[in-house]
Structures are given as structure tokens and as C-alpha cells.
Amino acid sequence: MAKLIDGQAIASDVREKLALDVQKLKEECSVPGFAPGLAIVQVGSRSDSNVYVNHKIKAAAEVGINAVHVRLPKSISQAELLLEIQKLNNDNSIHGIIVQLPLDSDEKLDSDLATNTVLPEKDVDGLNCINAGKLSRGDLENCFIPCTPRGSLELIRRTGMEVKGVDAVVLGRSKILGSPMADLLKWNHATVTTCHTRTKDLASHVSKADLLVVGVGVPNLLKGEWVKPGAVVIDCGINVIPDATKKKGTKLVGDIEFDVAKERAGWITPVPGGVGPMTVAMLLANTYDSARRSAANFKSGPWNISYLPLDLKDPVPCDLEVAKAQTPKNIADVAREINILKDELDLYGNKKAKISLSIVKRLETQSDGRYVLVTGITPTPLGEGKSTTAVGLSQALGAELKRNVMTCLRQPSQGPTFGIKGGAAGGGYSQVIPMDEFNLHLTGDIHAITAANNLLAAQIDARMFHEATQKDEALYSRLVPDKKGKRVFSDIQLARLKRLGIEKTDPNSLTEEEVRKFVRLNIDPKTITWNRVIDTNDRFLRKITVGQSPTEKGKTRETQFDISVGSEIMAILALTTDMRDMRAKLGKIVVASDMDGNPVTADDFGVGGALMVLMKDAIRPTLMQTLEGTPVLVHTGPFANIAHGNSSIIADKIALKLVGSDGFVVTEAGFGADIGMEKFFNIKCRYSGLVPNVVVLVASVRALKMHGGGPPVTPGVPLPKPYVEENLELLGKGFCNLRKQIENVLKFGVPVIVAVNSFATDTQNEVELVKKLAKENGAFDAVICTHWAHGGKGAKDLAEAVIRATDVPSNFKFLYDLQMPMREKIKTIACEIYGADDVEFSDEAETSMDRYIKQGFNDLPICMAKTHLSLTDNPARKGAPTGFTVAVRNVRASVGAGFIYPLIGTISTMPGLPTRPCFYDIDLDPDTEEVFGLF
């Protein structure tokens, strides 16, 4: 007589253990309120399906799994069904999804399409073709096994049978049971024969089986006398047959003649009470497994990341040639390696992707990594390799030292890309790839900023025109039109009414005076600070006249274009922390003052919401990679000479969470430490709340020689003789600039490491002199770097120095208090950071400052717009001058972004093209579509 395999008891045992595992997972997960989540999608309301669903929900609750029953009407279309499944795919609280079959629908629905729409990692039924494929190939650790086969294997093991080597017969070939059961037994080393209802001489096959698993849905198909004596028999069939002895007139039976088979078998499952309870238990087990893997994404630890080898050439080819010689990883693989979930990734092809802001919520309890800022001395027009050093340092920390590391860089503007400087992806063997995509449109963020900026500019002139050509009532009728006998204020108009102190919501209830206040912005044209922008160097747009068409009725005014990356909207994007914060900042943009001296904002023009819509994708950072396969977040691109010169707070915060407490985030500040770094500390750190651990200050021998009195360095012209021959005297004189920048870093209480970016023309004596002088003047360390020629290997010493420096607590402090008078804050920066004796304000600057102070903007930080080629306001003055005065010619306010920006000297917010721009060398191969000549 066979022993009965009690599926009820075994399933109960499985659920009890599962409940303990779920509780432990909840306690250990760093996310408050974390719990495994199961979604059951049911179309229609078949009574048998209702019973199954309710049973699953009850069982889930017993073990601590949150089960959601998604009821869908019988009338649902295929597209609507797939959309509902996609919503669950994108829900981070759902770890398992099952589609209850059969689909009870009035429409013709494809159940296979539905189950294949479920993400493989949430397919706890194991019906997705990817999971089925992995199971068929034996990849059992990386797939979900369908619940009934998994439960059947557990029942087999509970009998004490060792599956390895036994002769097994699986009767049935369905996708749900037979085929996956045969695969599962095969990869557990059984010798498996698959039979079905059309198998010839079925009895002879069955009679040889030590293990028999049956599931065809035909009552009593398998005769009891066919069973081999002592065999283990798993009957997965469940069939309803007539039985007059039962109250319902029916009974449940399996596919095997149970009464005869139990006389021959060693072990056998009853029906009901055998496999059925195990199916539900395994559904819960699969859901727990999925949740456990998901919870692992919330834990910090070393990434399982692959690095790309470099094929170093000597001499080093041009940057674009180096970049094209490397084959990047698929960006989805990069994301997976650093624990970014699929639903947090929007692919832009295979080499770049946008990161969803939902990742911030998922990682909010994660500890931050170490924060490294790369800045530089006052550069030559060629640049001294700040971005290259940031990339090389990251490659060294990752590929060489195997630390979690992310680089956060700005998106290049088309201005320098096609103008004088060229690309900004790094250089040599320390680059972001694909280099051409990085330097061109990328994911279109700068275009979105341009569109938003110019929409606001268009509305300013249009509103001034309409106010000048219409009476109050006509304006009111157009601003709040009567639609089918009803007038309604929009939300943005209601907000404006509140700012005006008008607590009314009915458009028909406003008095004539209230209507006048509402419709009249009364812009003072002389105070307009909002300019149109374009992402091209175009000197002839530095002053223009608008409104010259006859249709504008003589409403002309002088204005100008700025470069797009200088737009306040770019600054807002870089300094915002989330969607809500960004919407508020866009609405607060002050574009002018009215005739009474009050600030007029983007929301007063009714355009704040539209700006947000244009920027909804731009707020998400773009994921890319370096030449050695370390991850990079590219986001925002403000210049440091006319804006605040740093990548976004959002990118830095995401990166710091992803790398974990032992990881590193390397970001760079534009141009020299006197502008980019100063703004990073005094503006970005104030709004982010992040504290830097160390500063890497990049210096080059050629720049120091220039500061020592060397001849001018001109792009496109070979370096003069003093720069390519050893000259220790010139180098020593120029060290004054590096000394001043070291001093500037130390004013903020942060340790500084000097990275001597070594070029082929440098001699050993020269780089050793820079290293020696830097240490003698307060640097934590000074390291010679060759990452341009050798990639991460050439920055390994720098990376080790950075690790040592971040082990020492920094004593970060701001340079000034926000409550200081505006003029005093400007003077503090000029005197403390630039080395000036005093500041001279023009009459126009004095008038602007008085206006902004009166409007309540004194307590904003300062963002100096100054030449990057000198510590002074004169780009021709090199070294570290003293005894000079900084000339402030005007002062503007970026209230939305949250800073005041003085215009220093002759700084222009619209660069111009040189005589020979970079674009002379740039073209596209029409056959291969490859870019060449970019840099």
C-alpha cells in the first residue's frame, strides 16, 4: 500500500517557514514599510477563478505578503489589458504578477501576449517565454519555475527520493505543467521521458518509471496496473466526474486510477489534497524570492560590474578615434550592474538612458558615498584637463581599485563644441563614450531649456503688446473668456489673485479696480532682464531690436540673446531637488519689475506650468559610461563664467546613493577654482545640503608657465617654445596661481589634492617641482597623473590619495553668511577668492542692487559672472595679481534659481565664434553615418 503524500501538511509547513522568512526580510530591509507585493490580474468574474483568487489572497495575507486583486471587466480590450500589466510592471511595490487564466472576456484576448508582457523578474507564475527559455536551458538560479512543477518537485523530495539518476516519466506537455516539469527534472539529473495522450504504447513507458508525474486533465487516463511497484506518483490532474453518492452529485479525481495505483506505488498524491495546496505555496515562495532580490537593490555593497579593457596606443590618437575604437557596454547592462531597476530606466538607444526620479524614493534610506570635487587652476584657453581628470580618476577608482564610483558631469553646449574649445567628454583614454553623442544633442535637455526660455521671452513681449493695445475689460475678457456662458479662472490665475490679495474665485465678482490689478502687469521695459537664448556662439545677437514688424505697432525695444546654458532655467534645472521644487522655482522666475518697483514673475505671466511641461524629461539625468565601463551621470550644463558651472544636485544625490557608503562620486566644477569651485560651495552645497570630502585641484605645467609670464596660448596655434622646453624659472614664477587656488580651497575647510596633469612635453623636473611646491603650500598630497595617455592606470596614485583624504573628516564651511548685505557678499568673494583690494560698482549696478534689496532678495547667494582666464576681471592679467579693483558693471537676479549674479568687467553672456571655428573639421560620413573631426 502506497504512502500518501500529504500536500496540505507540506504546504502548511512551507507557508510557516515562508512567514518567518517574510518577517525577517521586512525587518532587515532598509526601506520603512517594505513588504513583498503580489498582484493578481483577473479579467471577468468566472466563479471558479474567483475561488482561486480569493484563496491566493488569503494565503498571501497569512504569510505577510501584500496581495492586490486587479479586477478588470469582461469588456476590456487587449491594449487596455497590456496597459494595466505595464502599470504593475512599473510599480516598485509589486514584486510578483500573475494573470489569472482563463481570461473571461467578451473580446478575443491573447493570453500568451498577456503573460509575456509581465516583466520576467516579476513573472512569479513562470509563464513568460524568457523564464521558460531559461528553465529549458538549465538556468534555474535566474528564472521563475512555474508553481505546480516547483511544488511537485518539493513533494517528491519530501518522500526521500533522490531525483538524480532515476527514470522519470512526465505525462503531459503543457506550458504550465508538463514541459517545465520535464525540464526541471532533467536539470535535477533525472532521465526523463515525456509522454502525452498520443504516445504509442503508453503503458510500456509508464511501467518503467521510478517517478511518474501526470497532468493531462483526463480522468483516470493512467491505469493503476501500469504503475511500477514502489514508484513515486505525483498526480497533478484535477477533474470533475459524476458521483451520485456525493451531495453535489460530483467528485474530484485525478488523471490516475487512484484506488488501483495506491496498491502498487511507494508514494502517491491524493486528489484533492496533494499537488493543489503546493501550487499556491510555491506562488508565495516565488513572490518572496522576487521581493528578496528587489530588497537587495536597497542594500549598499560592491557592484558586480564588468570593466572594459583599454588598447593603449602610443602616440595617443585623437579623442574621437580613441572613443570609436572602444565598444561600449549596452547601457541597460550598465544600469543593471549598478542596481538601477528596469522601470527606472528610459532607453535612448543602446548607449544612453534617462534615469527616473522614482529612484530617489527607493534609495532614500541608503547611506551616501564619498563626495569628490574636481576643479582647477586658472586655465589657458585650451583647458587643463579637469573633465579628463574627473573621468580618469573615476576609471582608476573603479577599474583599478574596484570601488563603486560614479562620475557626474555637465552636458556640453554646442557653443564650445562648434566654437573654440571643442568637445567636453574628457580626452585621450579618459573619456565618456559615445563621445560624439555626448558632445552633440545627447537627450535634448539643452533644446528643452531653449524652448522653455524662449516661450517665456515671447510671452513677455506679447503681454506688453496686448496691455498697450487693449483696455482693461477687453484684456479681462480674453484672459478669462466666457465659454458656453461660464467663466473660470485657471489654477495659475487663482494663484496670482491670491498674491494680489484678492480672495475671490468667481470671475464675475471682481470689481473694476480688482480687474485692473489682475490684468495689468505694467512692466517697466527698462527693468527686463529676461533674454532669448540659443545654443550657438553668435556675437551679432549680443544686442538686437525686437518688434520692428508693422504688426507690432511700433512697440520696439532693445534686447539681446544669451547662450542657452546661461539661461536661468538651466540654473534652476541644476539646483532643483525634485519635480515639485522645480515647478515652484520656475514660477518664481523674476523677469522684470513693474512701474511700482514690484517683481514680476513667470507665474504672473501664466507660463510657469507650461515651462514645467517642457522640462519634464530634462529633469532626469542621463546615464552613460567611461572608456573603461564605469558609470557616468550627465546632467545640466551651466557655464562657470556666466552661470554657476556645476552639474545637477539631482544627479549627485542619485549617484551618492547608488555607490553606497564605501563608494565615490566624482563631480567637476567648471573653469578655475575661483569661479566654478566657489559657486559649487557657496551655491550648490547650500541648496543640496551635501558636504564635500575632498577637492582635486588640476594643474598643468603649461598653464603655470603662462601664469609665470609665458607668451599667449592660442587655440589652433602650436605652443610657443617656452611651453615645450624645460623652464623651471618660468614654472616657479607661475606657481603663484596654484598657490592662490590651494589657499582658496582651504578657506572652505576641505582637504585639497593637486593633480598634476602631465603632458608629453613636460619634463620630470618640472612635474616634480609642481608636486613639491604644492605640498609645501598646504596640499594634502600632490600626484603626477598620466590618465590622458594611460586611462585609469595613469590616475591610480591619484585615486589612492583621494581614498586617504576622504578617510580624514573635512571641516567644511561657507565663505559668507547669506544675511550679509549684498554688496558685502560680492566684496568678500572678490577680496577673499580673487585677491582684490576692493570692488567698484557702476551706477547701473547700484540701481539694480537697490531694487533687488527692496524686493526682498538680499539673502540670496552670489553667482559672479567673470572671465575664467584670470583671477581679476581682465583676462589678460595672469598669475595671482594683487592691488586691483573688481569692476561690477551690472547686477541681475535669478530669483527662481536662487542667486544674485553680478556681471564683472566685460564678461559677455553670449560668446562669439573665432576666425576659425571647430566646425571646419567636423563632418559626417554619408555611407557609415559616422561623425569625424569632432575633436
- Just list the catalytic residues: 56
C-alpha gyration radius of the chain: 35
- Helix runs in 274-342, H state only: 275-296, 319-325, 331-337
Helix (H, G, I), strand (E, B) or coil at 234: strand
Q: Which of 833, 865, 826 is nearest to 670 (CA)?
A: 865
- Contacting residues for 24 by C-beta, under 8 A, at least 6 apart: none
Q: Using a CB cutoff of 8 Å and minimum separation of 24, what contacts does 203-208 make?
A: 205/169, 206/169, 206/171, 208/167, 208/169
Q: Please give the C-alpha separations between residue 386 and each of 120, 670, 866, in angstroms, as whole numbers.
A: 42, 8, 19
> How is residue 163 written as a grid cell?
531525483
Q: Which of 480, 461, 474 is nearest to 556 (CA)?
A: 461
**CA–CA separation, 372 and 388 (whole Å):** 15
Contact 785, 758 (CB under 8 A): yes
Contact 218, 197 (CB under 8 A): yes
Helix (H, G, I), strand (E, B) or coil at 594: strand
- Contacting residues for 689 by C-beta, under 8 A, at least 6 apart: none
**CA–CA separation, 792 and 429 (whole Å):** 8
Chain-centre distance for alpha carbon 452: 22
Contact 377, 698 (CB under 8 A): yes
What are the E-state strand segments in 161-262? 167-171, 191-195, 211-214, 232-235, 239-242, 250-253
DSSP state at residue 904? E
Contact 212, 227 (CB under 8 A): yes
What are the E-state strand segments in 716-803? 752-757, 781-785
**CA–CA separation, 726 and 709 (whole Å):** 15
- DSSP per-residue letters across 57-105: HHHHHHHT-EEEEEEE-TT--HHHHHHHHHHHHT-TT--EEEE-SS---
| Total Cβ atoms within 10 A of residue 931 | 18
Kindly report the backbone phi and psi dihedral angles of residue 43, in degrees, each rounded to the nearest multiple of 5, phi listed first.
-100, 125
